[in-house]
Amino acid sequence: MATGIPTSIQTAPLLKQWVQLLADGRFQIYSGKVELGQGISAALVKVACEELCIHPGQVDLVAGHTALSPDEGYTAGSLSIEAGATALRHACIYMRLLFAIQAAEHLAVNLEDLTLDQGMFGALQSKEKIGFHALAKDTNYALIRVDTPLDQSRDVKNLVQLPDEEFIRFDLKGKFTGAGFVHDMVRSNMLHARILRGPHAEARARLVDAAHLRSFEGVTKLVIQGDFIALLGPDEGMLLRAYEKAYATIEWQLPNLPAFQEIETLLTSLPSVDEKVVAQGKALPSSQRLTRRYSKPYIAHASIGLACALAEPMRHSANKAGLTVYTHSQGVFKLRQEIAAALGISVDMLDVVHSPGAGCYGHNGADDVALDAAFLAHHLQVPVRVQWTRQDEMSVSPLGSASLIELSAGVNDQGRIADWQAQVWSHSHLNRPGWLPGSNLLGAWALDPKAPRPVQKDQVLPTGGGLRNIIPYYDLPALDVMHHFVPEGPLRVSALRSLGGFANTFAIESFMDELAETATVDPLEFRLRHLTDTRAKHVLQATADAANWDSRGEGLNGHGYGIAFGRYKNHAGYCAVVVQIEVGESIRVQQVWCTVDAGRIVHRDGLLNQIEGGLLQAISWTLKESVTWGPAGITSNCWDTYSILGFDEIPQLHIDLVDAMDQPSIGAGEVAAGPLAAAIANAAHHALGVRPRHLPLTPDRLLQLIHSQD
């Protein structure tokens, strides 16, 4: 049976780019998808072990290293398994088939009689065994291409597999017990650095007294170029105290920020580029019509750990000195291009190596801090480690874009949707380095204030940025979608987990409840009658059954249940959620039931962790998180002014994973966010009888909503 060629294989077609046999008998595998805490490293090792029938102890993984790994773009969009693991699996299967043919010849048996265990080929009728390494002595396997279709009609029949328990998160030991993060890296003669930046990404220091900055104890180097100001010293503690004193002496010039206001007012007041992006079908007659608006605010990444990077000069050739940069970036190849351009050096003189760092949910400060370290190491020709402050993290790193969604639909007498119209106001949701011409690195703007920046744009459908998931995954007779793209806003924005999918799914699934109420139909039944996809119907029904949906009661007593569904990007994983909440002084989520179908499960524990993390983050977004600003810059710049979910607020989670073995693996890391938010809003309506439509659902916002109903 022939199979298609994964995209990553087409760009890296040699077997040696994916698997190499080491002299000590081990296997080294390569990937462009990096470990961000999502467990992809264990999943990749599991894929190699499954297809080559080897033990995880026999495998080394190299991922996100520009000198060694295949370029697989960004580790983003829930594509690590769908794209990265699929490509590695293809290469390993190819390797197994090629070496199996040689093993059958060597053992003088039919290929179908071969066994494969611990990387050793054997056969029932032969006592001899031979492994990949021995067979490779007669084969120049490094030149083998794997970008042709596979024929798996003849293969090893007896593949010995290990249980899932063997594939633990091997990256965790170092993180718990030693130098597991880029923050922990140390080099001899290394300098620590802090960059002086203001309370907004566009803030600039008015006057800088260089002599005064050099006078602070702990500062042994001061670097000023353009608007870039760095304090450096060998002792991090002393340097941090010096930084705090120095920061207090700086007067900042800020852009002319609009006053803080509700997202609906803000986005509709800013200039926009308007385009009808979907117009299909024919509306049916309807007896009732509903039009509602929903919004989400700007949201920070709010990683508990801070952005950090280390760069050190390296000799890349006999006559030229280069750099190696260690970073927790999601896209090391694109970052390498932008750092090289900012420093004016050849890409060949720069290696960028992924090293684990703070939890990453999109385009956070990891890329920016990498340029900070690279510039200083290149300029001073010493190893430099840069770590941001909490204010940097909350004020100058990219934020998730705000969104406003207006939905309108007709409902007929049969309780079915007759037509659907959507309008979206939002900024770009993708400003990653290397995505568009021009620099998207904060340090590059400071080093050369005249450096060209990319023209703002957003991803188009079907993937979409601000439009992601705006097309409902329901059967609709007519659909119209209008995009109001807002190029400029008060804050620096880029990719944050699920992009526009969070806001759009929240809006659609909240609206589905409102339409169900209009049609006097149970919210679950209303969704099921508009679905034909059996996998979608299954996750909805399974979640409802697990939560005893039919026994939820009438509500209106401070206790509520809400349900919601989404298929991420309309082609990735399916997710249905039911939440149980209690409303007192605030909304408290007590229990969450969730069913996810992400196709064939590669690493169950990793998938489970992804769903758990996505649910908890979405609870935090829905109930608490919102970026605020004023004339002096961003005001939500510390934990006192930017609230996140506390450990004492974590609900009981009941997660069911559907292992669709006959289906391809599809993205799951971002499936839970939108459905969870809508389920909470729907539960709030069930508990209180009022309909929250604008996030976050804080106590103040709920009180305003309740009083507005009086």
* Residue 26: its H or E element: none
pLDDT of 157 higher than 90? no
CA–CA dist 396, 443 (Å, integer): 11
Indicate the pLDDT class of residue 544, thresholds 50, 70 and 90.
very high
Predicted pLDDT of residue 3: 54
Predicted pLDDT of residue 172: 83
Predicted pLDDT of residue 571: 95
Burial class, 270, CB count within 10 angstroms (exposed 0-12 / middle 13-18 / buried 19+): middle
CATH 3.30.365.10 fits 182-253+307-387, yes or no: yes
Q: Kindly report which listed range (121-130, 441-450, 467-476, 662-671) carries the lowest average pLDDT score.
A: 121-130
Mean pLDDT of 260-273: 96
Predicted pLDDT of residue 176: 83
Buried b (16+ CB within 10 A) or exposed e, 214-239: eebebbebbbeeebbbbbbbeebebb
pLDDT of 709 higher than 80? no
Residues with Cβ within 8 Å of 329's Cβ and at least 6 positions away in sequence, in order, are 335, 352, 354, 366, 367, 370
Listed by start position, the domains of the chain span 7-166, 182-253+307-387, 270-299+399-429+464-709
- Overall fold of domain 7-166: Aldehyde Oxidoreductase; domain 4 (3.30.365)
Q: Kindly report which listed range (2-6, 112-116, 578-582) carries the lowest average pLDDT score.
A: 2-6
Q: Kindly report which listed range (107-116, 255-264, 690-699, 701-710) carries the lowest average pLDDT score.
A: 701-710
Please state, for a pLDDT cut of 70, what percent of the chain lies above it: 98
pLDDT of 1 higher than 50? no
Mean pLDDT of 321-337: 94
pLDDT of 359 higher than 60? yes
pLDDT of 318 higher than 60? no
Token pair recorded at residue 205: 């220091």
CA–CA dist 383, 81 (Å, integer): 35
Please provide the average confidence, as pLDDT, over all residues in the chain.
94
Predicted pLDDT of residue 391: 96
Predicted pLDDT of residue 314: 87
Query: Rg for the chain (alpha carbons), in Å?
Result: 27
pLDDT tens digit sequence for 378-415: 999 999 999 999 999 999 999 999 999 999 999 999 99
pLDDT tens digit sequence for 188-233: 999 999 999 999 999 999 989 999 999 999 999 999 999 999 999 9
pLDDT of 179 higher than 90? no
Residues with Cβ within 8 Å of 313's Cβ and at least 6 positions away in sequence, in order, are 321, 322, 323, 377, 378, 381, 382, 383
Predicted pLDDT of residue 173: 82
Residues with Cβ within 8 Å of 24's Cβ and at least 6 positions away in sequence, in order, are none
Under DSSP, is residue 506 helix (H, G, I), strand (E, B) or coil? helix
Mean pLDDT of 464-470: 97
pLDDT of 614 higher than 80? yes
Mean pLDDT of 261-272: 96
pLDDT of 158 higher than 90? no
96-102's contacts with Cβ under 8 Å and 24+ in sequence apart are 96/51, 96/52, 96/53, 96/155, 96/156, 97/150, 97/151, 97/152, 97/154, 97/155, 98/139, 98/141, 98/144, 99/132, 99/135, 99/136, 99/139, 100/155, 100/156, 102/135, 102/138, 102/139
Backbone φ/ψ region at 548: left (φ over 0), alpha (ψ -120 to 50), beta: left
pLDDT of 710 higher than 60? no
Mean pLDDT of 83-110: 92
pLDDT of 2 higher than 50? no
pLDDT of 316 higher than 50? yes
CATH 3.40.1280.10 fits 270-299+399-429+464-709, yes or no: no
Q: What is the pTM of this model?
A: 0.95
Kindly list the strands in the beta sheet with 19-21, ordered across the sheet, starting from the edge strand earlier in the chain.
Answer: 19-21, 27-31, 59-63
Predicted pLDDT of residue 50: 92
Say if 182-253+307-387 and 270-299+399-429+464-709 have the same CATH topology.
yes
Mean pLDDT of 113-129: 89
pLDDT tens digit sequence for 628-666: 999 999 999 999 999 999 999 999 999 999 999 999 999
Q: Where are the alpha helices (DSSP H) in 389-484?
A: 390-395, 442-447
pLDDT tens digit sequence for 469-517: 999 999 999 999 999 999 999 999 999 999 999 999 999 999 999 999 9
